[in-house]
């Protein structure tokens, strides 16, 4: 294990991350409502830590193996989450203790969107911007950004550990740095388009940029306590839904589209490009899931005459079903007060989340689809024991390795969920509240039901550490974190 090389790389990454704290300081200078000094102090501390790590191991430049890549990803998220909490610790308002600062930082970077801060409407703009920017960085993955801007020897190994999805190595070109650069170009372009749309729909420039960060990253943080409901605008609701659906799509499809559009020969194949997304089985399944959820919500609301007895509109039902099921967690009203089984349905739908390779959380649509196909195969085998029935997506036959990996991931996901649920109860949470808090954390959702329907202020400090662990597991898709806890990982 090349420990000194790992420390050197983490040091450079930390120094790079420290530069992001200068942006909130600049926001504080522009708006003049406080927070600038604390962010400059946080920058100094973070940069010094990164410089110390790099300087002490600057001579070590050995080639990295895949195993070191996994360790760097986990170490970097832990170090980054801890150092990202420094501004929250230094700030006097909001007055967060150490545990709450760590929780808020990890919630932002993992795009969970759970918060322990109230009174957002009265906070300095620098703090609000910082929370949103943390989510934007965590959305695509700070490690992929590092691959794009810091071409170090062996750093491309991190891509396999960072990018989500069971078939993540099959849709990208082998040149990881070029892939990462184009992914971030797409990510940045979507953010700019989203911010412009929000601004044209009536948001202030600050709110438009801030909410575009949280929308494209499917994070769910807002600059207002009432979230998107603060604006009370149907056009803003539709814009949010549109960009959440785009961000929930596999970025490998966006990558393929942009790559073909850059090729003059491919530009003429418009018919091929227009079919690109629809031919993807995961994307089609994702749209079907979204449509079924929305239709169910709409039918139940109509059946209960909820549109005539409450201030609920058509686009709000669409907004809430998409926001919760894609694990964004934005809100326009208190959906926990909706009739019948709808709140529970939407919360459980977050277990599915977005597509693999997207900024969404949850198990991912492709895994749920493959689990469904495997279930059908086993039913067929039960009736016809001697039948040979491979699992196929279209014309592609999936290997046994992928099938085994799907079940292993699902088992690990449920194991972590139950473990964190029991630990939260042990920390003093009531069973129902603990269930919802862990569900919201592991699926990177944010709000849920019960005491965590709006924020996590009532969660005991001990349970906040459990939720932080669950957030990291969800963001790194369980195995990346669990693999370094295995004794096999540390054997040469």
pLDDT value of residue 149: 44
Beta strands in 365-481 (DSSP E): 392-393, 396-397
Instruction: Write out pLDDT tens, residues 216-245.
Output: 999 999 999 999 999 999 999 999 999 999
Report pLDDT digits (tens) over 193-211: 999 999 999 999 999 999 9
Predicted pLDDT at 162: 52
Q: Which residues are annotated as a binding site for K(+)?
A: 111-112, 218-219, 327-328, 444-445
Q: Which residue has the higher pLDDT, 170 or 229?
A: 229
CB-neighbour burial class of residue 488 (10 A; exposed 0-12, middle 13-18, buried 19+): exposed
Closest by alpha carbon to 43, among 63, 33, 28, 59? 28
**Predicted confidence band of residue 263 (pLDDT cuts 50, 70, 90):** low
Confidence of residue 172 (pLDDT cuts 50, 70, 90): very low
The fraction of the chain above a pLDDT of 70, given in percent, is 89
pLDDT (0 to 100) of residue 26: 95
pLDDT band at residue 292, thresholds of 50, 70 and 90? very high
**64 or 363, greater pLDDT:** 363
Give, to the nearest 10 degrees, the angle between helix 205-216 and helix 125-140.
Answer: 30
CA distances from 61 to 3, 7, 8, 55, 154 (A): 11, 11, 8, 12, 9
Return the exposure string of 215-240: e unless at least 16 CB atoms fall within 10 Å of the residue's CB, then b: bbbbbbbbbebebbbbbebeebbebb
What average pLDDT does this structure show over 288-300? 94
Q: For residue 180, what pLDDT is reported?
A: 76
Q: Which pLDDT score is estimated for 88? A: 95
- Position 269 confidence tier, pLDDT thresholds 50, 70, 90: low
- For 83-109, write each residue's pLDDT tens digit: 999 999 999 888 899 999 999 999 999
pLDDT tens for residues 397-432?
Answer: 777 777 788 888 899 999 999 999 999 999 999 999
pLDDT band at 170 (very low <50, low <70, confident <90, very high): very low
> What pTM was computed for the model?
0.89
Which residue positions form the known binding site? 111-112, 218-219, 327-328, 444-445
Angle between helical axes of 3-18 and 36-56 (0-180°, round to 10): 160
What is the sign of the dihedral through the CA atoms of 192, 113, 290 and 226?
A: negative
Q: How many helices (H) and strands (E) does the chain have?
A: 24, 2
């Amino acid at each position: 294990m090349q420990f000194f090389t790992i420390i050197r790389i983490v040091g450079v990454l930390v120094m790079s991350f420290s530069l992001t704290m200068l942006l909130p300081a600049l926001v504080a200078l522009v708006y003049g409502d406080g927070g600038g000094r604390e962010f400059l102090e946080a920058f100094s501390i973070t940069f010094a830590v990164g410089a110390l790590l790099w300087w002490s191991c600057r001579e070590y430049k050995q080639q990295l193996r895949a195993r070191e890549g996994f360790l760097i990803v986990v170490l970097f998220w832990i170090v980054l989450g801890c150092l990202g909490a420094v501004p929250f610790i230094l700030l006097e308002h909001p007055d967060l203790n150490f545990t709450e600062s760590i929780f808020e930082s990890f919630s932002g970077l993992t795009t969970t969107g759970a918060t322990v801060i109230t009174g957002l409407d009265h906070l300095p703009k620098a703090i609000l911007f910082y929370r949103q920017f943390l989510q934007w960085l965590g959305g695509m993955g700070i490690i992929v950004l590092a691959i794009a801007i810091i071409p170090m020897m062996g750093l491309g190994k991190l891509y396999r550990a960072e990018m989500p999805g069971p078939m993540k190595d099959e849709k990208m070109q082998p040149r990881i740095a070029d892939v990462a650069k184009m992914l971030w170009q797409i990510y940045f372009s979507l953010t700019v388009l989203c911010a412009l749309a929000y601004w044209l729909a009536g948001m202030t420039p600050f709110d438009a940029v801030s909410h575009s960060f949280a929308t494209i990253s499917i994070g769910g943080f807002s600059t207002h306590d009432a979230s998107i409901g603060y604006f009370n605008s149907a056009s803003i609701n539709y814009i949010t839904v549109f960009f959440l659906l785009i961000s929930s799509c596999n970025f490998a499809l966006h990558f393929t589209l942009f790559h073909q559009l850059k090729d003059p020969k491919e530009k003429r194949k418009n018919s091929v490009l227009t079919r690109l997304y629809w031919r993807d089985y995961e994307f089609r399944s994702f749209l079907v899931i979204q449509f079924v959820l929305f239709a169910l919500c709409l039918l139940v609301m109509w059946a209960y005459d909820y549109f005539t007895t409450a201030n609920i509109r058509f686009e709000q039902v669409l907004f809430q079903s998409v926001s919760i099921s894609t694990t964004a967690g934005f809100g326009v009203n208190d959906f926990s007060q909706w009739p019948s089984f709808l709140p529970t349905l939407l919360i459980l739908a977050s277990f599915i989340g977005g597509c693999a390779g997207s900024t969404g959380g949850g198990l991912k649509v492709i895994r749920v689809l493959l689990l469904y196909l495997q279930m059908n195969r086993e039913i067929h085998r039960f009736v016809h024991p001697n039948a040979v029935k491979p699992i196929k997506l279209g014309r592609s036959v999936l290997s046994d390795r992928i099938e085994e990996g799907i079940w292993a991931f699902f088992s690990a996901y449920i194991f972590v969920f139950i473990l964190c649920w029991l630990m939260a109860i042990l920390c003093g949470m009531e069973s129902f509240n603990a269930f919802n808090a862990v569900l919201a954390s592991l699926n990177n959702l944010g709000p849920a039901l019960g005491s965590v329907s709006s924020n996590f202020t009532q969660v005991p400090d001990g349970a906040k550490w459990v939720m932080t662990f669950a957030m990291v597991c969800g963001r790194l898709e369980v195995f990346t974190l669990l693999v370094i806890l295995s004794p096999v990982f540390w054997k040469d």
